Structure 1
Amino acid sequence: MVSIQNLHKKFGKNPVLSGVDLSIKEGGIFAVLGPNGSGKTTLIKSILGMVIPNKGTISVYGQNIKNNSDYRYNIDYLPQIANFPSNLKVKELIKMIKDLRGKTSDDEHLIELFKLNPFLDKKLGTLSGGTKQKVNLVLTFMFNSPLIILDEPTSGLDPISLIRLKDLIQVEKAKGKTILITSHIMSFVEEVSDEVVFLLEGKIYFKGCISELKIKTNQPDFEHAIASILTENHA
C-alpha cells in the first residue's frame, strides 16, 4: 500500500527525517507517534506529495509518487488544522468539495452522525473549533477512498463525537481500508490502532503492535512504554 525507502528531509540546516524506511500494508489502522518535532507531519505530507523529500523514494499502490499526482485521488486526508474560508457556509463548502472531487459521497449520513444539520447555514468563521473539526471529518470521510490519513483527528472533539469517530474508523477498517493516524492522545491510539510506528528525531525507533512495545520497554501499559522511550532517549 505505502512503501518508503531511505527518506530524508531537511528544512534549511535542520534535518527532520533521517533515512526513514517504512512499509504499511493494505488494511488496518496504523498510528504514527512521536514527540513534537519528531517528523510525523513531515512524513505524512511527504506521502501526500505536499513536502518534497531531499532523498529517498515513496511508492503508493506500487507507483512511485514522484512527478505523479493521480494517486492522491485515492487518499482522503484530514489536516491537523483546517483553514476554511470564513465567509463560506458549511453547506457551501461541502458542495464545493464534492464538485471539485467529482466522486459519489456519503455526506448526508456523516452530517447526521456528527449532528451538523443545525450548522449547515452558518458561516465557517462563526463556528467553534470542535464544530469545525466535525466539518473537517465530514469532508474527509465522505469520499470512499482506500487510504485515509488523519492528522490529530480527535482535536477539539467532545466525548460523544469522539465515540462516533472511533466507530466510524472501525467501520472504514471493516471495509478493508488502510487508515494512517497521528495523535497525542495515547488512550485513543491504544483503542483503535493495530500497529504503531514511533518516530524520534527523524528516525523510526519502533514499528509493531502495542503489546510488542510493552515487552520491548518492559512497561505494564502503553503510556509508560512511550514515556520510557522518551526518557531513555533524552537522559
Structure 2
Amino acid sequence: MSVIELKNLTKQYGKARGIENVNLNIEQGEIFGFIGPNGAGKSTTIRTLLGLLHPTSGTATIFGKSCFEHPEVRKELGYLPSEVFYYDNMRVIDLLKYSASFYKKDCTKRIHELAEAMNLDLKKKIDDLSFGNKKKVGIVQGLLHEPKLIILDEPTGGLDPLMQQKFFELIREENKKGATVFFSSHILTEVQKMCDRVAFIKEGKIIQLEKISTLQANNYKKISLETKSSLDLGVFNLDGVSNCKMKGNTANFMYRGDINTIIKRISELELLNISIDEPDLEEIFLHYYEKES
C-alpha cells in the first residue's frame, strides 16, 4: 500500500521556481529519505503534500486521500517542520497537552516518556528555551499521538550529536511499531543511516531514486593523489571514474564502484600522497544532475 503518493506534483510561485512534476510512492513501513541542498524544493513538496500549499497541478495523497479534500487524514500523521514557532508565554507541558487534545486520546504517559528520552523540561516556558530545545518540543509534539505516518523536514537542526542519536533511536522505535517515515534532509549521512530508499531533488525536480543498499554498495569516493612523476591522461580511464581533473603529477576525481579496482590501479603508481574521502552532498548532486542532463 502506498502511504504517500505524488503524481506530477507541481507548485509554481509566479515566475519563481517551486517544484515540477514530482512523482513518488512511499510504501507502508518504509523509512524514506528525501534529500537535496537547501532551496531544492523539499519543504515545498512536503507543505503541498500536507495541504498547506495548493498545488499548481498534479496530485498528492496520504493513505489514498488528499489533505485538501480530507483534512481529517492529518490525524494519522505527525509532522515536524524545519522551523518551529510557538506562543512564548505557554509552558511546554501546557502546549503539549493542548496539542494532544486534538487527537481525543490520553497522551499524558507518552508525553512524559518522550520528554524523558529527549531530556526536555516540561515545566519551562517556551520563551526560555534554546532553539535546540524548541526543536525537542516539536519532536515530542509530532510523536505524542503515535502517528501512522511521520513526516520530518530537516529534523536535526539545532540538536547536539547526543540528542540527534536519541532522536534517531526514537524514530527507529516508531518504525518498528509500524509507522511509515518520510524524512527530508540535506545531510546525506543521516539519510544513509536511517532510510530504506532515497529520492534526490534538485532545483524542484527529482533527479534520482535509489535504494540505500544500492547507494552504499556503489558508494562514491573522492580521491586525491600526488605522484613522483607526471601522470598520463589515460591512467584513470576506468568505468566509475568521473569529474577527473589532472594537472602535472596531481589528480582529483570521483569514483563509484568496487574500491579494489581503483586501489589496484593506484598501486601501480609511485605515490607521494593520497586521500580517499566521502564526497560532500553537492558533489554527488552535481554528478547525478550532469548524468540526467
User: By how many angstroms is 1:134 displaced?
Assistant: 1.1
Q: Which of 207, 210, 234 is the matching residue for 1:208? A: 210
Kindly indicate whether residue 117 of structure 2 is the aligned counterpart of residue 113 of structure 1.
yes
Cα distance change, pair 194–111 in 1 and its aligned pair in 2 (3 A) = same
CA gap 1:65/1:131 in 2 versus in 1, 3 angstroms? closer
User: Which letter does structure 1 place at the counterpart of 2:172?
Assistant: Q
Distance (whole Å) between structure 1 residues aligned to residue 41 and residue 282 of structure 2: 18
1:128 to partner: Cα distance: 0.8
Q: What residue identity is the alignment partner of 1:113?
A: A
Q: Which residue of 2 aligns with 1:29?
A: 31
Selected match of 2:201 from 199, 202, 205: 199
**1 or 2 for the larger relative contact order (CA 8 Å, sep ≥6)?**
1
1:93 equivalent in structure 2: 95
Secondary structure at the counterpart of residue 24 of structure 2? strand
State the shift of 1:225 in Å.
7.7
CA contact (8 A) 2:67 2:74 kept: no
Whole-angstrom CA distance in 1 between matches of 2:161 and 2:105:
31
Deviation at 1:107, TM superposition (A): 0.8
1:127 aligns with 2:154: no
In 2: Cα distance, 1:231 partner to 1:47 partner:
27
Normalised by the size of structure 2, how large is the TM-score? 0.74
Deviation sequence 1:189-223 (CA, Å, 0-9, x none): 11111111101111111112134346497436995
For 1:17-96, what aligned pairs fall within 5 Å after superposition? 17-96=19-98
TM-score when normalising by structure 1? 0.91
1:142 Cα shift? Answer: 0.8
Aligned length: 233
Structure 1: how far apart are the matches of 2:136 and 2:67? 30
Q: Which has the larger radius of gyration?
A: 2
CA distance in 2 between counterparts of 1:164 and 1:100 reads 27
After superposing on structure 2, the runs of 4+ consecutive aligned residues of structure 1 that deviate more than 6 Å are none
1:209 partner amino acid: K
Secondary structure (helix, strand or coil) at the match of 1:71 reads helix
Structure 1, unaligned stretches of length 5 or more? Answer: none
Q: CA deviation at 1:82?
A: 0.7
222 and 189 in structure 1: CA distance in 2 versus 1, 3 angstrom threshold: farther
Describe the shift of the 1:222–1:204 C-alpha distance in structure 2 as closer, same or farther (beyond 3 A). Answer: farther
Determine the C-alpha separation between the residues in 1 that align with 2:194 and 2:42: 18
- The alignment partner of 1:35 has SS state of coil
Counterpart residue type for residue 85 of structure 2? N
Aligned to 2:191: 189
Shift of 1:31: 1.0
Amino acid at match of 2:118: F
Greater strand proportion: 2
Q: Give distance in 2, aligned partners of 1:59 and 1:99.
A: 25
Output the aligned Cα RMSD: 2.2
Gaps of 5+ in 2: 221-239, 241-255, 258-275
Q: Contact 1:16 / 1:37 at 8 angstroms: preserved in 2?
A: no
Call closer, same or farther: CA 1:25–1:225 in 2, change over 3 Å.
Answer: farther
